[in-house]
Amino acid sequence: MRFVFLGLPGAGKGTQARVLSERLGIPQISTGDTLREAVQEGTALGIEARTFMDRGEYVPDGIMVRMVDERLHDADASKGFILDGFQRTVPQARALEEVLGQAGTPLDAVVQFLIGDVTAIRRIIGRSTCPACKRTYHQEWSPPADDSLCDADGTPLEKRSDEDALTVKRRLAVYREQTQPLEAFYAERDVLRAVDAEAPVAVVSARMFDALRDVL
């Protein structure tokens, strides 16, 4: 099964991709996490990507398409995957369509998580992330048992470098300019499933499973 998750920054793509990945036993492929790892390791990709990410802008399509194409050839993606954060532009969507078309493995569904700007900003400003297992927490809605440590592995939680209010506003604007056109792109292909994501995590998960019931 092959899925793409779309939605504003903070819509809960990562949170719900983890839920679906655990249920189906297919990998969650987060381009944001992969880029942040590259930044942390100081690779050439990381150094280049950081300048875009810290401004709240997108990393160039050529880099992203190569990165995802390589990842989809890994053995764990052979039975399916959830793409969390890819694609974000029409050229990326066309490139993925070509790669999957050649392999005879088209997407089963594109899930669009719908939230408003106010929720997006509150979710991102309140988020902290475990750098080891990538689990996310929220100071208001899903705090860790210990204020600053990951419940799963005890690693100190971190804030991302693109989570200040100004950068978040830029990320919302970039989404509207460059990613929103994908809604029409996938609606035309009849794979788009919209999920109202303005609800607690478990309710959104139930809505997601409901939206996907004919393909699961």
Give catalytic residue positions: 13, 88, 127, 160, 171
Return d(Cα 18, Cα 20) in angstroms, integer. 6
Site residues for ligand AP5 per CB under 6 A: 7, 9-15, 31-32, 35, 52-53, 56-59, 64, 85-88, 92, 123-124, 127, 136-138, 141-142, 162, 171, 197, 199-201, 204
Neighbours of 118 (CB within 10 A): 9
Contact (Cβ atoms closer than 8 angstroms) between residue 126 and residue 15: no
- Minimum separation from the CB atom of position 55 to ligand AP5 (A): 8
Query: For residues 140 and 214, which CB has a smaller minimum distance to ligand AP5 in the complex?
Result: 140
Query: For residues 87 and 191, which CB has a smaller minimum distance to ligand AP5 in the complex?
Result: 87
- Minimum separation from the CB atom of position 94 to ligand AP5 (A): 13
Give the CA distances from residue 1 to residues 26, 144, 208, in Å, rounded to whole numbers and listed in that order.
8, 32, 15
Query: For residues 50 and 191, which CB has a smaller minimum distance to ligand AP5 in the complex?
Result: 50
- Minimum separation from the CB atom of position 87 to ligand AP5 (A): 6
Whose CB is nearest to ligand AP5?
32
Query: For residues 26 and 168, which CB has a smaller minimum distance to ligand AP5 in the complex?
Result: 168
The alpha-helical segments, DSSP class H, found in the chain are: 13-24, 31-41, 44-53, 61-72, 90-103, 117-125, 165-174, 181-188, 201-211
Choose among 121, 100, 71: nearest CA to 186. Answer: 100
